[in-house]
A and B are shown apart, each in its own frame.
Chain A
Amino acid sequence: MLGFISPKLAPSYIPKFRSAILRNEFGSVFASRFGASFREYSSKKVKKYTKEHEWIHVERDLGTIGITHYAQNALGDVVFVEVPEVGTVVEQSGTCGALESVKAASDIYAPVSGKIIEVNQNLEKSPGLINKSPEADGWLCKIQLSKLSELDNLMEEHEYHKHCEESESH
């Protein structure tokens, strides 16, 4: 893909450029210039996690929100899902719905601030999707992020796994 740049024209530049691709370092190149949000969140898809066991999958400024597999397992059979109405504006860590299992009601917290632009209609008839497919078909709602930088407060996948292991061992 770099064939259009002649090695003759930029002999010293290309190896650097290629290794940057291989090591996926572009972010850091741009990061210095445009800040972290531009680097990570406008150029590619990211999935981040909250301590409260929500995940958010972000592409550009649109995010899809759900609960993690770990959370559905601990919660047990979900029998009722309450999600916000489309158009609702939510704050990061504010309540944005609830899940009900036989035993307990658990609030869902918004991983980021923004406006709810779509909710998963299938959950009304099949709340069990949360248990069957928490990180795909059982998504809860889609949100238009208002503060991309808030994603920096959330956990990466490996950090989240560690967080779950720590919760488990207590």
Chain B
Amino acid sequence: MAFNVSLPMVTIKRNFAAVPEKLKQTPLYNLHNEKRGKMVPFAGWSMPVHYANQGILSEHLHTREYASLFDVSHMLQFRILGKDRIRFLESLVVADIEEMPFGASVLSVFTNENGGIIDDTVICKHADHLYVVSNAACADKDLDHIRTKIGEFQKKGGWVDLKVIDDRALLALQGPLAAEILKKLCDKDLSDFKFMTSRFIHFKTIESHVSRSGYTGEDGFEISVSASSSQRLAKLILGYPSVHLAGLGARDSLRLEAGLCLYGHDLDDSITPHLFDLKNPLGKRRRVEGGFLGADRILAQLKEGVTRRRVGLIVEGAPARENSEIYNSSDELVGKVTSGGPSPTLNKNIAMGYVKSGYHKNGTLLKVKVRNKLQDAKIVKMPFVPSKYHK
């Protein structure tokens, strides 16, 4: 057997000395060891891919039915400060931050001069700062980019500053029972706490920044908490027997079912915002005004249309993984899978990928090549599993 435990961004050969020097540890590292997490290197961090005696499949299903706690402290958290912070960040992302009410969050993308995506990110607007979360695997690249642009912005007289948050853990509590559990812990009504908004909440005196969001398609919360209190908070949450720990393996299969992109796989700097989010890649004002990196190309594309489309596929036979080729009925190559695997919830093989425009309509019958065999596939609407966000 080719014995690889492959994870987003990294492939670990089992027969190798899998742990290179100096992997970073999250504040919950001891908890992972205590709960016998199967630790693997991921984007320079030692992270649990799953926990002993659970496995990806059961962690995945548990999240859909009850609730799971994920350590996502490896993700990059930072604040953008200063009176020109919105104008600055809007020069780097396509979102309309100006229009957002305080407390609201938005999923957006950093673009480069060519209109390609540098990283996807969630931006949360607070009265005195912007709180931003982006991918661990892109952290160095993102920070270099932002620091360079801050330098240029400041030279032109702009007032802006970057504060990287490296003293806080990030926990994600995801699943249908997540709200009920947090409600008990903070003793507050959370029913008017909507999806993609955030609040500062105290859980038994532990001060936290809580965003109602996630990466699983379930209702859930991402909790930013000081490193020193994170273990305590995790244990308080795990005190509810309906909450299990879940690792990066389940996180990846859950996000795929939810039709969410993973940077480095479904997104890279050849992908423009229109391919990422066809319905509403830019706010109305941004479409008119532009003013972000690569705006010329992105706005031109808006008029011309795109040559390929991001689609969801149901695949018969063996699961189609990343880089599987997609063919039309005359066996012409029309696209490529960027993420794929078995869906534990649907018991079918699902895949996300890009196909030439024209082959993207729901119900289109295509073929996907797996180990040199062409297998039937059909374009379906994403998310594959209906999302249950608290809107």
Complex partner residue of B6 from A80, A104, A107, CB under 8 angstroms: A104
Q: Known: A105-B321, A170-B17. Is A79-B2 also a contact (CB below 8 A)?
A: no
A162 → B minimal CB distance (Å): 13
Instruction: Take A80-B319, A102-B249, A103-B252 as given contacts and tell me if A52 and B3 are in contact as well, using a CB distance cutoff of 8 Å.
Output: yes
CB distance from A20 to the nearest CB of B (A): 39
Tell me if B50 and A76 are in contact (CB < 8 A): yes
Q: Which of B52-60, B136-144, B221-229, B263-271 contacts A (4 or more CB under 8 A)?
A: B52-60
A104 → B minimal CB distance (Å) = 5
Would you call A108 an interface residue if the criterion is a C-beta within 8 Å of the partner chain's C-beta atoms? Answer: yes
Query: Measured between alpha carbons, how far is A101 from B49 in the docked complex, in Å?
Result: 13
Are B3's CB and A53's CB within 8 A? yes
> Does A151 reach chain B (CB closer than 8 Å)?
no
Given A103-B7, A167-B15, CB of A76 within 8 Å of CB of B55: yes
Q: Most B CB atoms within 10 A — which of A74, A82, A102, A170?
A: A102
Is A139 an interface residue, CB under 8 A from the partner?
Answer: no
Render B259-293 as a binary contact track against A, CB cut-off 8 A, 1 for contact: 00000000000000000000000000000000000
B184 CB within 8 Å of chain A: no
Q: Which of A67, A82, A104, A167 contacts B4 (CB 8 A)?
A: A104
The residues of B that contact A67 with a CB separation of less than 8 Å are 1
- Minimum C-beta distance from A71 to chain B (A): 6
Interchain CA distance A54-B4 in the complex, whole Å: 14
* CB neighbours of B163 from chain A (8 A): none
Which residues of chain A in 150-168 are interfacial with respect to chain B, using CB atoms and an 8 Å cutoff? 167
A118 within 8 A of B: no
Q: Mark A50-70, 1 if CB is under 8 A from B, else 0.
A: 011110000000000001000
Which residues of chain A are within 8 angstroms of B15 by Cβ–Cβ distance?
Answer: 51, 167, 170
Q: Say whether B4 contacts A106, CB under 8 Å.
A: yes
User: Does A100 touch B at the CB level, under 8 Å?
Assistant: yes
Q: Would you give the shortest CB distance from B59 to chain A, in whole angstroms?
A: 10
**Residues of A with C-beta under 8 A to B106:** none
> Which residues on A sit within 8 Å (CB–CB) of B1?
52-54, 67, 71, 75, 99, 106-109
1/0 per residue, CB under 8 A from A, across B2-27: the answer is 11111100000011111100000000
A170 to B3 CA separation, bound complex (whole angstroms): 14
Q: Which residues of A contact B252 (CB under 8 A)?
A: 103
How far is the CB of B68 from the nearest CB of chain A, in Å? Answer: 15
Quick check: A100 and B6 within 8 Å, CB to CB? no
Q: Which partner residue on chain B sits nearest A51 by CB separation?
A: B15
Q: List 9 A-B contacts (CB under 8 A).
A: A52-B1, A74-B3, A74-B14, A76-B55, A77-B57, A102-B57, A103-B253, A106-B4, A170-B18
Given contacts A74-B5, A80-B319, A82-B371, 6 further A-B contacts (CB under 8 A): A74-B14, A76-B57, A77-B58, A103-B249, A105-B318, A170-B16
Chain B interface residues toward A at CB < 8 A: 1-7, 14-19, 49-50, 55-58, 60, 249, 252-253, 318-319, 321, 341-342, 344, 349, 371
Which 4 residue pairs of A and B lie closest in terms of their CB atoms, listed nearest first?
Answer: A77-B57, A107-B2, A79-B342, A102-B56
